Amino acid sequence: SAVISQKPSRDICQRGTSLTIQCQVDSQVTMMFWYRQQPGQSLTLIATANQGSEATYESGFVIDKFPISRPNLTFSTLTVSNMSPEDSSIYLCSVDLQGGGNTIYFGEGSWLTVV
Amino acid sequence: GENVEQHPSTLSVQEGDSAVIKCTYSDSASNYFPWYKQELGKRPQLIIDIRSNVGEKKDQRIAVTLNKTAKHFSLHITETQPEDSAVYFCAASKAGTALIFGKGTTLSVSS
Protein backbone atom coordinates (compact mmCIF):
# COMPACT_ATOMS: atom_id res chain seq x y z
CA SER A 1 0.00 0.00 0.00
CA ALA A 2 1.03 3.63 -0.45
CA VAL A 3 2.84 5.59 2.23
CA ILE A 4 0.67 8.45 3.46
CA SER A 5 2.50 11.00 5.58
CA GLN A 6 0.81 13.64 7.67
CA LYS A 7 2.34 16.63 9.41
CA PRO A 8 2.14 17.60 12.17
CA SER A 9 1.50 14.34 13.94
CA ARG A 10 0.52 16.12 17.10
CA ASP A 11 0.15 19.73 18.23
CA ILE A 12 -1.20 21.86 21.01
CA CYS A 13 -2.79 25.01 19.64
CA GLN A 14 -3.96 28.23 21.17
CA ARG A 15 -7.59 29.20 20.88
CA GLY A 16 -8.19 31.55 17.95
CA THR A 17 -5.20 30.45 15.92
CA SER A 18 -5.11 28.44 12.70
CA LEU A 19 -3.12 25.34 11.84
CA THR A 20 -2.40 23.74 8.48
CA ILE A 21 -2.11 19.98 8.22
CA GLN A 22 -0.16 18.51 5.34
CA CYS A 23 -0.77 15.17 3.66
CA GLN A 24 1.79 13.67 1.30
CA VAL A 25 1.29 10.43 -0.64
CA ASP A 26 4.12 8.55 -2.31
CA SER A 27 2.03 7.79 -5.40
CA GLN A 28 -0.39 9.76 -7.51
CA VAL A 29 -3.99 9.48 -6.37
CA THR A 30 -7.08 11.07 -7.79
CA MET A 31 -9.22 11.15 -4.70
CA MET A 32 -8.22 12.36 -1.27
CA PHE A 33 -10.52 12.72 1.71
CA TRP A 34 -10.22 14.54 5.00
CA TYR A 35 -11.90 13.12 8.09
CA ARG A 36 -12.26 14.32 11.65
CA GLN A 37 -12.42 11.99 14.63
CA GLN A 38 -13.47 13.68 17.85
CA PRO A 39 -12.47 11.99 21.12
CA GLY A 40 -14.21 8.65 21.51
CA GLN A 41 -16.19 9.12 18.32
CA SER A 42 -16.32 7.72 14.83
CA LEU A 43 -14.83 9.23 11.69
CA THR A 44 -16.74 12.10 10.09
CA LEU A 45 -16.03 13.18 6.53
CA ILE A 46 -15.05 16.82 6.26
CA ALA A 47 -14.50 17.09 2.51
CA THR A 48 -13.39 15.39 -0.67
CA ALA A 49 -10.38 16.95 -2.38
CA ASN A 50 -9.76 16.21 -6.04
CA GLN A 51 -6.87 17.74 -7.90
CA GLY A 52 -7.82 20.63 -10.13
CA SER A 53 -11.17 21.36 -8.58
CA GLU A 54 -12.61 22.93 -5.47
CA ALA A 55 -13.04 20.66 -2.49
CA THR A 56 -16.52 19.34 -1.83
CA TYR A 57 -17.60 19.87 1.77
CA GLU A 58 -20.02 17.79 3.80
CA SER A 59 -22.92 19.23 5.69
CA GLY A 60 -21.71 21.01 8.79
CA PHE A 61 -18.29 21.86 7.39
CA VAL A 62 -17.53 25.10 5.55
CA ILE A 63 -14.60 26.34 3.51
CA ASP A 64 -13.99 29.35 5.73
CA LYS A 65 -13.39 27.09 8.71
CA PHE A 66 -11.62 24.23 6.90
CA PRO A 67 -9.95 25.53 3.74
CA ILE A 68 -8.38 22.76 1.67
CA SER A 69 -5.77 22.85 -1.06
CA ARG A 70 -4.98 20.11 -3.57
CA PRO A 71 -2.20 21.45 -5.80
CA ASN A 72 -1.21 18.10 -7.32
CA LEU A 73 -1.91 14.38 -7.29
CA THR A 74 0.32 13.60 -4.30
CA PHE A 75 -0.33 16.44 -1.84
CA SER A 76 -3.12 18.18 0.04
CA THR A 77 -3.49 20.51 3.00
CA LEU A 78 -6.30 21.09 5.46
CA THR A 79 -6.36 24.24 7.55
CA VAL A 80 -8.32 24.42 10.76
CA SER A 81 -9.11 28.10 11.18
CA ASN A 82 -9.86 30.17 14.27
CA MET A 83 -9.65 27.11 16.48
CA SER A 84 -11.74 26.51 19.57
CA PRO A 85 -11.55 23.65 22.09
CA GLU A 86 -14.33 21.89 20.13
CA ASP A 87 -11.83 21.48 17.27
CA SER A 88 -9.67 19.22 19.42
CA SER A 89 -9.70 16.05 17.32
CA ILE A 90 -7.71 13.71 15.19
CA TYR A 91 -7.65 14.88 11.60
CA LEU A 92 -7.07 12.11 9.10
CA CYS A 93 -6.08 12.28 5.49
CA SER A 94 -7.17 9.31 3.41
CA VAL A 95 -6.68 8.26 -0.16
CA ASP A 96 -8.37 5.96 -2.63
CA LEU A 97 -5.58 3.92 -4.11
CA GLN A 98 -7.73 2.45 -6.84
CA GLY A 99 -8.96 5.68 -8.37
CA GLY A 100 -12.61 5.11 -7.60
CA GLY A 101 -12.33 1.53 -6.44
CA ASN A 102 -12.74 2.72 -2.88
CA THR A 103 -9.83 0.95 -1.22
CA ILE A 104 -9.22 3.65 1.35
CA TYR A 105 -6.09 3.98 3.43
CA PHE A 106 -5.44 6.51 6.16
CA GLY A 107 -2.50 8.63 7.09
CA GLU A 108 -1.25 8.41 10.65
CA GLY A 109 -3.41 11.32 11.71
CA SER A 110 -2.82 14.75 13.19
CA TRP A 111 -3.78 14.90 16.85
CA LEU A 112 -4.75 18.46 17.70
CA THR A 113 -5.50 19.79 21.16
CA VAL A 114 -6.84 23.34 21.40
CA VAL A 115 -6.32 25.11 24.71
CA GLY B 1 -27.07 10.25 1.60
CA GLU B 2 -25.69 7.04 3.02
CA ASN B 3 -26.29 6.18 6.68
CA VAL B 4 -24.52 3.32 8.42
CA GLU B 5 -25.75 1.83 11.69
CA GLN B 6 -23.43 -0.41 13.72
CA HIS B 7 -24.20 -2.75 16.62
CA PRO B 8 -23.28 -3.44 19.32
CA SER B 9 -21.41 -0.39 20.58
CA THR B 10 -19.47 -2.54 23.04
CA LEU B 11 -18.72 -6.26 23.02
CA SER B 12 -16.91 -8.30 25.63
CA VAL B 13 -15.86 -11.89 24.96
CA GLN B 14 -13.62 -14.49 26.48
CA GLU B 15 -10.44 -15.44 24.68
CA GLY B 16 -11.19 -18.17 22.16
CA ASP B 17 -14.83 -17.17 21.70
CA SER B 18 -16.24 -15.72 18.50
CA ALA B 19 -17.28 -12.09 18.06
CA VAL B 20 -19.82 -10.74 15.60
CA ILE B 21 -20.40 -7.10 14.74
CA LYS B 22 -23.29 -6.08 12.51
CA CYS B 23 -23.90 -3.07 10.29
CA THR B 24 -26.77 -1.90 8.16
CA TYR B 25 -26.66 0.67 5.40
CA SER B 26 -29.32 2.77 3.73
CA ASP B 27 -28.15 3.45 0.17
CA SER B 28 -28.85 0.49 -2.09
CA ALA B 29 -26.28 1.86 -4.56
CA SER B 30 -23.43 1.29 -2.09
CA ASN B 31 -21.15 -1.46 -3.32
CA TYR B 32 -18.08 -1.41 -1.10
CA PHE B 33 -18.03 -2.40 2.56
CA PRO B 34 -14.73 -2.31 4.47
CA TRP B 35 -13.94 -2.92 8.11
CA TYR B 36 -11.31 -1.02 10.04
CA LYS B 37 -9.60 -1.77 13.33
CA GLN B 38 -8.38 1.12 15.43
CA GLU B 39 -6.13 0.55 18.40
CA LEU B 40 -5.74 3.23 21.03
CA GLY B 41 -3.69 6.13 19.76
CA LYS B 42 -3.39 4.77 16.25
CA ARG B 43 -5.00 5.32 12.88
CA PRO B 44 -7.72 3.03 11.53
CA GLN B 45 -6.31 0.03 9.72
CA LEU B 46 -8.18 -1.77 6.95
CA ILE B 47 -8.60 -5.39 8.01
CA ILE B 48 -11.01 -6.80 5.44
CA ASP B 49 -13.42 -5.57 2.81
CA ILE B 50 -16.14 -6.93 0.58
CA ARG B 51 -17.71 -5.76 -2.63
CA SER B 52 -21.32 -6.15 -3.64
CA ASN B 53 -20.69 -8.95 -6.10
CA VAL B 54 -19.52 -11.24 -3.29
CA GLY B 55 -21.52 -12.69 -0.41
CA GLU B 56 -18.72 -13.70 1.89
CA LYS B 57 -14.99 -13.20 2.25
CA LYS B 58 -12.60 -14.79 4.70
CA ASP B 59 -9.06 -14.04 5.79
CA GLN B 60 -7.76 -16.41 8.45
CA ARG B 61 -9.78 -15.73 11.62
CA ILE B 62 -11.73 -12.85 10.12
CA ALA B 63 -14.71 -13.08 7.79
CA VAL B 64 -17.23 -10.64 6.42
CA THR B 65 -20.68 -11.49 5.09
CA LEU B 66 -22.92 -9.29 2.98
CA ASN B 67 -26.67 -9.49 2.43
CA LYS B 68 -27.51 -6.95 -0.25
CA THR B 69 -31.22 -7.62 -0.14
CA ALA B 70 -31.40 -6.81 3.55
CA LYS B 71 -28.66 -4.14 3.27
CA HIS B 72 -26.58 -5.49 6.08
CA PHE B 73 -23.09 -6.85 6.51
CA SER B 74 -21.27 -8.42 9.41
CA LEU B 75 -17.75 -8.97 10.72
CA HIS B 76 -16.98 -12.33 12.28
CA ILE B 77 -13.86 -12.92 14.33
CA THR B 78 -13.22 -16.49 15.43
CA GLU B 79 -10.87 -17.73 18.15
CA THR B 80 -10.51 -14.24 19.56
CA GLN B 81 -7.25 -13.22 21.18
CA PRO B 82 -6.43 -10.35 23.55
CA GLU B 83 -4.72 -8.50 20.70
CA ASP B 84 -8.07 -8.36 18.91
CA SER B 85 -9.18 -5.83 21.53
CA ALA B 86 -9.75 -2.55 19.72
CA VAL B 87 -12.45 -0.37 18.21
CA TYR B 88 -13.88 -1.73 14.98
CA PHE B 89 -15.58 0.46 12.39
CA CYS B 90 -17.69 -0.61 9.45
CA ALA B 91 -18.16 1.66 6.46
CA ALA B 92 -19.97 1.81 3.16
CA SER B 93 -19.56 3.66 -0.10
CA LYS B 94 -20.30 3.55 -3.78
CA ALA B 95 -17.79 3.97 -6.57
CA GLY B 96 -15.97 7.28 -6.52
CA THR B 97 -17.36 8.49 -3.23
CA ALA B 98 -16.06 8.72 0.30
CA LEU B 99 -16.62 6.12 2.98
CA ILE B 100 -19.37 6.70 5.50
CA PHE B 101 -18.60 5.09 8.84
CA GLY B 102 -20.63 3.43 11.54
CA LYS B 103 -20.22 4.63 15.11
CA GLY B 104 -17.83 1.86 16.06
CA THR B 105 -17.75 -1.19 18.32
CA THR B 106 -15.34 -1.47 21.23
CA LEU B 107 -14.30 -5.11 21.44
CA SER B 108 -12.71 -6.36 24.65
CA VAL B 109 -11.20 -9.84 24.73
CA SER B 110 -10.35 -11.08 28.19
CA SER B 111 -7.96 -13.93 28.85
pLDDT, tens digit, 9 for 90 and up, residues B16-35: 999 999 999 999 999 999 99
pLDDT of residue A68: 96
A33 interfaces chain B, CB cutoff of 8 Å: yes
C-beta of residue B72 within 8 angstroms of C-beta of residue B65: no
Instruction: Give pLDDT tens digits for A75-110.
Output: 999 999 999 999 999 999 999 876 666 678 899 999
Alpha carbons A57 and A73: distance in angstroms, whole number: 19
CA distance B1 to chain A (A): 11
pLDDT of residue A73: 92
pLDDT of residue A48: 93
Nearest to B94 by CA among A111, A37, A44, A104: A104
B97 pLDDT higher than 90: no
What are residue B25's DSSP bridge partners? Answer: B4
Alpha carbons B1 and B51: distance in angstroms, whole number: 19
Instruction: Compute the mean pLDDT over every residue in chain A, rounded to the nearest whole number.
Output: 92
A2 interfaces chain B, CB cutoff of 8 Å: no
Instruction: Compute the mean pLDDT over every residue in chain B, rounded to the nearest whole number.
Output: 95
B chain contacts of residue A101, beta-carbon cutoff 8 Å: 32, 95
Partner-chain residue, chosen from A33, A41, A103, that has the shortest CB–CB distance to B98: A33
pLDDT of residue A51: 82
A2 pLDDT higher than 90: no
B4 pLDDT higher than 80: yes
Mark yes or no for CB contact A33/B100 under 8 Å. no
Write the single-letter amino acid at A22. Answer: Q
Partner-chain residue, chosen from A31, A42, A92, that has the shortest CB–CB distance to B103: A42
Q: Supply φ then ψ for residue B107, to 5 degrees.
A: -100, 125
Nearest residue of chain A to residue B46 (CA atoms): A105
pLDDT of residue A50: 85
Nearest residue of chain B to residue A47 (CA atoms): B98
Mark yes or no for CB contact A92/B43 under 8 Å. yes
Residues 6+ apart with CB under 8 A from A40: none
pLDDT of residue B61: 98
B62 pLDDT higher than 90: yes
pLDDT of residue B95: 79
Task: Give mean pLDDT, residues A36-64.
Answer: 94
CA distance A17 to chain B (A): 25
Task: Give mean pLDDT, residues B32-42.
Answer: 94
CA distance B78 to chain A (A): 24
Give the residue, B48 or A30, on which the prediction is more confident.
B48
Least confident of A30-34, A110-114, B104-108: A30-34
